Amino acid sequence: MRKARPLIAVAATLLVLGPVGWWWQDSLLPDAYSLMSMGHVELGGAAGGDHAAHGARSITELVADRNRPADVAVTLTARQDGDRYTVNGTTPGPAIFARAGQLVQVRLVNADVTGGVTLHWHGVDVPNAEDGVAGVTQDAVRPGGEHVYRFVAPEPGTFWYHSHQVSHEQVARGLFGALVVLPAQPSDVDTVATAHLYGGTHTINGSPSDLRVAAHAGQTVRVRVINTDNGPMSVWVTGAPFRIAAVDGTDLHEPGDVRDVSVLLTAGGRVDLLLTMPATPVRVQLGGPLSVVLGSGDVPPAPQPRTAVDLLSYGAPAALGFDPDRPDRTFRYEIGRRPGFVDGRPGMFWTVNGRLFPDVPMYVVQEGDIVRMTIVNRSGEVHPMHLHGHHAVVLSRDGVRATGSPWWIDSLNVGDGETYEIAFVADNPGIWADHCHNLKHAADGLLAHLMYAGYTTPYVLGPASGNEPE
């Protein structure tokens, strides 16, 4: 029996380490792999359709009309500048302005970003091949290389662009800019306020100070606030009532005047605030220490109002254009957290529907489907969830149905413990990322994909490919 003791100890150790070793081994990602083989298929209660690559169309065909000349042509050159990235020498990069229906053509040049770059058009439902996700819709552009993006500008609204190659690092360090589709009837004053934290320093449009904008009494003013950070921010206005004219590039229906309330702006999201200038200056505070100050003179900062506008009940209802109560597919996107291994790395990782990256859902749809998705957050932290290529309408939060203006989003703040129901029409074929826009979370595996049956991508992920979208 004396000899048996060490043997039992060895056996016990193996019993514990065996599975751990297997999990570790099992979590290792191949050097190059296709998204098509990643994760597990979810069909949302409908027949699958042919999701296999056999006979499938390549997403590279999903482009804007090749024969149409550009209405707006821009060249954007990405550079690495110490620990910053710049676009045409600045960060944020230049804002791009277009009108609805114009063909926008952007030539991206990578001067010297060693990790490679791409551009993703956040909130614009571009054709899939223009979506800018490295390893999914294109290869990352290497130093000295270039890539041309072409898409038709959507309805007027506020959008932004950013790299989708090593995005958790490249976006935080500057590789982004604003994209505005101008309204047919512009306000007297129209200003973009891109909020960004550079290593802990708050900025608006790249500057660490208040943004001062000239405006006279009686003028209408639109302030387009873009949250390019990883966390939510609150926006509030002192000195005038205001309206939330648009969320995520979509106008709200009959938004009413409000005051002494804050507006929650999720990471990656945008709000357009509209107000009429009084005779005195107005301060639009962007969460941290910075503000947009309208008019001349000063108005002191005010503490954040206690109540926030609830977009579930703000504005007046209007037709959605489809019936979300008759969905063709119903999906669940449940976010949790548990210890495990991702690519051999031990840690606490996000789970989607109980599983760890790369075993994340591949939500399969067919073109024309009405899709309903329930997003549940039981992970202990807030997640700004972003679906590419589509706008979804919010149906409910924690069982409370939406009663206000249709609330169309591309980025949704899902707080810990919250459950949202959203719906959208699958009207933009391709393969689309659906991830957390706290880009560090995405890099830690908080992502999934939406794919249309019958499509495939030739691009691959993994170190050997040079593509690392998150």
Positions in the binding site for Cu ion (CB under 5 A): 383, 436, 438, 441, 446
Binds ligand C2O by CB under 6 A, chosen from 51, 122, 283, 329? 122
Give the max Cα distance, the chain: 94
CB of 443 to Cu ion, least distance (A): 10
Instruction: Indicate which of ligand C2O, Cu ion, none lies near residue 329 (CB less than 5 to 8 Å, by partner kind).
Output: none
Q: Name which of 159 and 341 has its Cβ closer to ligand C2O.
A: 159
Contact 340, 20 (CB under 8 A): no
- Long-range CB pairs of 60-65 (<8 Å, 24+ gap) are 60/129, 60/457, 60/458, 61/129, 62/127, 62/128, 62/129, 62/429, 62/430, 62/455, 63/127, 63/129, 63/130, 63/150, 64/103, 64/126, 64/127, 64/130, 64/150, 64/151, 64/152, 65/103
Instruction: Indicate which of ligand C2O, Cu ion, none lies near residue 193 (CB less than 5 to 8 Å, by partner kind).
Output: none
Q: Name which of 51 and 388 has its Cβ closer to ligand C2O.
A: 388
Distances in whole angstroms, Cα of residue 65 to Cα of each of 70, 159, 391: 10, 22, 22
Contact flag: residue 270 with ligand C2O (CB under 6 A): no
* Ramachandran assignment for 234, one of left (phi > 0), alpha (psi -120 to 50 degrees), beta (any other): beta
Q: How many CB atoms lie within 10 A of CB 298?
A: 11
Contact flag: residue 164 with ligand C2O (CB under 6 A): yes
Instruction: Indicate which of Cu ion, ligand C2O, none lies near residue 222 (CB less than 5 to 8 Å, by partner kind).
Output: none
Contact flag: residue 168 with ligand C2O (CB under 6 A): no
Footprint of ligand C2O on 9-28 (CB under 6 A): none
CB of 258 to ligand C2O, least distance (A): 28
Contact flag: residue 388 with ligand C2O (CB under 6 A): yes
CB of 220 to ligand C2O, least distance (A): 29
Number of residues that this document lists for the chain: 470
Backbone angles phi, psi at 130, to 5 degrees: -100, 10
Instruction: Indicate which of Cu ion, ligand C2O, none lies near residue 433 (CB less than 5 to 8 Å, by partner kind).
Output: ligand C2O
Binds ligand C2O by CB under 6 A, chosen from 115, 268, 327, 454? 268
Strand-pair category, 455-456 with 57-58:
parallel
Residue type, 113: V
Residues that bind ligand C2O (CB under 6 A): 120, 122, 162, 164, 268, 386, 388, 433, 435, 437
